[in-house]
Amino acid sequence: MLYKSLNLKAPKVTFEQAVTLGLAPDKGLYFPDTIIPLENSFFETIATRSNEEIAYTVIKQFIGSEIEENDLRKIISETLCFGFPLTKIEENIYSLELYHGPTMAFKDVGARFMARCLAYFNKNKPNQKNTILVATSGDTGGAVANGFLNVQGVEVVILYPSGKVSDIQERQLTTLGQNITALEVDGVFDDCQDMVKRAFLDSELAHKNLTSANSINVARWLPQLFYFFFAYKELKKMNLPIIISVPSGNFGNICAGIMAKKLGLPIQHFVAATNLNDTIPRFMLDGMYNPKPSKATLSNAMDVGNPSNFIRIQELYKHDFLAFKNDFSSYAFSDEETLVALKDLYTKNQYIAEPHGAIGYLGLKEEMKKHGKSVGVFLETAHPIKFLDTVEPTLEICLPIPTQIESIMNKEKKSIKIKTYTDLKNYLG
Ligand SMILES: *Cc1c(COP(=O)(O)O)cnc(C)c1O
């Protein structure tokens, strides 16, 4: 399988090269050179298939022969070692819970898959070393740290802003040790991000084989295809048009959903629900892409002003705005609206959501007004415990600590404090 750069000024590469490079040399995002729809018989029989089988069928064309069938099946089954329940909220509205993995964020699936692909490629190269360098404002770091723990030939370096991530998130980054190092930056998230970007461009660090592990990387982005097939597997028997709402920040998750539709998955309509970082809701009004600096909100994993994956979505529609508008809507919601939705979900439906899922729910309700009888799904992308500072006071409840989180609460925090790019460079060596 070959991948092209969406800037079209770099050579096509293999899956392995796309994974190890992250971004193309011309700074473009990698994108599959061909996308072949799946056979009808697959969709007809999907309800009888296991999640592992579905995942294998969906992703194999994007890997080609670069990973042996048995190894790819093993990578998939290790990636999907937890459930993806579809919970009924109200008549014809469901929550697809993506937070039952080890760090209780949907990013676990992408991180686990990518880590295992890199381990596979490094297996026969004892001298190969990759360094995964990530800046995190919260959820990405924990999922990446956990996913890559003890992966052969891979060092993970995570930059996070000191005092700006929650207690649980900090513990997820700083207590693992082994091949994971947390750099605690005296600054804000943007400072971390700037240092990481500078390191990727720094020729003096070329020997470190720096790789990104955000949704720009095809191995983190593509496995998100699975969620949409899992939802369809459960809902097919209802025989209704399906609408899916995705709380969106960098638009990697929803881009995978749209890609699933290109593979033939019968989804009627997609909704990208955002917080006040509304670059895409504004784009949908007039087709003008005007990114803005990000604003801080309660749903902070979606505080993105310039969503990097949107270019991949436009590629899927060959930049045809009208065709795109037919399949896709986007709505923005304030923190106040988010809190009202959180409360409503709890008092009316006894469902405990968190701010990102609540925004997904709001987007879904908005879109469903425009359709006849249909069934709607919103993705719940994090466990409420990850956002307990908002959830507990709003719902006036005390959340029990899940076992995944409990196990890190008493471990010792280890981080290295840094302030400047020179500090980072000295650390990386
Ligand atoms: C990362 C994240 C999102 C946004 O996902 P994108 O693929 O960047 O759009 C939404 N919710 C949570 C909890 C996240 O961690």
Q: Which of 355, 356, 353 is nearest to 399 (CA)?
A: 353
The reported pLDDT for the residue numbered 299 is 94
Which residues participate in catalysis according to the annotation? 107
Q: What is the pLDDT of residue 200?
A: 86
Query: Residue 140 pLDDT more than 90?
Result: no
Give the model's confidence band at 254: pLDDT under 50 very low, under 70 low, under 90 confident, else very high.
very high
Tokens 């969906």 identify what position?
Answer: 58
Spatial distance between the Cα atoms of 1 and 15, rounded to a whole number of angstroms: 6
Q: Kindly give the distance from the C-alpha atom of residue 126 to the centroid of ligand 1, in angstroms, as a whole number.
A: 35
Pocket of ligand 1, beta carbon within 6 A: 105, 107, 139, 215, 247-253, 301-302, 356, 381-382
Closest CA to 188 of 76, 347, 300: 300
Domains of the chain and CATH, by start: 86-106+221-402 (3.40.50.1100)
Query: How many other CB atoms are found less than 10 A from the CB of residue 140?
Result: 26
Stretch 178-188: mean pLDDT, rounded? 94
- 326-379 per-position pLDDT tens digit: 999 999 999 999 999 999 999 999 999 999 999 999 999 999 999 999 999 999
CA distances from 310 to 112, 250, 291, 347 (A): 23, 8, 11, 35
Distance of CA 301 from the midpoint of ligand 1 (Å): 5
CA-proximal residue: ligand 1, atom 1 (nearest): 301
Which of 356, 362, 390 has most ligand 1 atoms within 8 Å of CB, for mutation? 356
* pLDDT at residue 137, as a whole number: 78
Ramachandran assignment for 326, one of left (phi > 0), alpha (psi -120 to 50 degrees), beta (any other)? alpha
pLDDT for the residue 373: 96
Task: Write the CB contacts of 168 (distance below 8 Å, at least 6 apart in sequence).
Answer: 385, 386, 388, 405, 408
Q: Is pLDDT of 116 > 90?
A: yes
- pLDDT at residue 361, as a whole number: 98
Q: How many angstroms does the Cα of residue 154 sit away from the middle of ligand 1? A: 24
Residue 228: its pLDDT value, please? Answer: 98
In whole angstroms, what is the distance from residue 46 CA to residue 229 CA? 8
Give the pLDDT of residue 193.
Answer: 84
What percentage of the chain has pLDDT greater than the value 90? 81
Q: Under 8 Å CB-to-CB from 366, ≥6 apart: which residues?
A: 271, 329, 331
The pLDDT value recorded for residue 330 is: 98
Residue 415 identity (one-letter amino acid): S
- pLDDT at residue 48 tops 80: yes
CA distances from 71 to 3, 120, 179, 219 (A): 21, 8, 23, 15
pLDDT digits (tens, 9 = 90+) for 379-406: 999 999 999 999 999 999 999 999 989 9
The residue to mutate among 193, 227, 250, having the most atoms of ligand 1 within 8 angstroms of its beta carbon, is 250
- Test site for ligand 1: of 248, 303, 328, most ligand atoms within 8 A of the Cβ: 248
Ligand 1 centroid to Cα of residue 195, in Å, is 22
pLDDT digits (tens, 9 = 90+) for 257-295: 999 999 999 999 999 999 999 999 999 999 999 999 888
Two structure tokens written together for 107: 């990013």
User: Would the pTM of this model clear 0.85, i.e. be above it?
Assistant: yes
Sorted by sequence, the CB contacts under 8 Å of residue 97 that are 6+ apart come out as: 84, 85, 86, 87, 380
Question: What is the average pLDDT value for the chain, to the nearest integer?
Answer: 94
